[in-house]
Amino acid sequence: MPAPYRQDKSRASADGSAGVEIVPVIDLRHGSVVRAKAGDRALYRPIVTPLSPTADPVDVATGLLNAAPSRQLYVADLDGIEGRGRDTASLRRLATAFPTVRLWIDAGIATRSQAEAFLDEGLGLPVLGSESQSDDRLVRDLADHAVLSLDFRGDDYVGPDAILATPSIWPERVIVMTLGRVGMGSGPDLERLSALREQAPARCRLYAAGGLRDRRDLAALASIGISGILVASALHDGRL
């Protein structure tokens, strides 16, 4: 059983290597945390991990944050992303359990009204997944009040071309989500990350997502100017 989470206030974030920030990740479905593999959401199953006695989101988040203390926790609300309605109850439990941790929440937000309703709840920072957008309007409107996730399946970008092609509208925090590498331990997509780092404005902090194996990958990410990485499997499997 993981110990109750206590933030180490001497550390602003979980530093991996050369200042690369580790952001723990949970994927929620029907009130439980599921194990993500290669972005094939139909195959996700409730997680079994040495970091937690159950698949309950608060239990799993406690284990992850004990393993990698951080002031950020990324939450993929798959019910929201897949159009079944946001899992507000689980999100509220997480926000209450970890008041010093900012939740980055991808819940399939795609319209101004959805974004305003989410922000009014004060549960965390909305993640705008490019796969959920119909144009670039919401990215422009929310600016640094949101995190942008540039979503890729294989070699293909998923989302409006205007978002990817206009780095000037990207917010301060940008996730490069390589869905095919999620949970696979195949290594980050360094070539794509390097290309996007060159395109992004200097003020943007880029976060990799998918494929992390160990600390050698963290060093490689640092060498190309990536600020952080979203991590789940490498923590559950004890590789990090």
Instruction: Give per-10-residue mean pLDDT for the chain (240 aa).
Output: 55 57 95 77 81 98 97 95 91 97 96 94 96 97 97 92 98 92 74 97 95 90 96 91
Q: Can you name the residues that pair with 228 across neighbouring β-strands?
A: 21, 207
Q: Which two tokens stand for residue 163?
A: 């978002």
Q: Evaluate whether 90 touches 31 at the Cβ level (below 8 Å).
A: yes
Domains of the chain, by residue range, sit at 14-236
Q: Evaluate whether 207 touches 176 at the Cβ level (below 8 Å).
A: yes
Question: What is 14-236's CATH number, 3.30.450.40, 3.20.20.70, 3.10.20.340, 3.30.365.10?
Answer: 3.20.20.70
Q: Quote the pTM value.
A: 0.90
Task: Classify residue 14 as exposed, middle or buried by CB count within 10 Å of its CB (0-12, 13-18, 19+).
Answer: buried
Q: Evaluate whether 231 touches 211 at the Cβ level (below 8 Å).
A: no
How does pLDDT run across 155-169, given as a tens digit for each residue? 899 999 999 999 999
Q: Evaluate whether 239 touches 214 at the Cβ level (below 8 Å).
A: yes
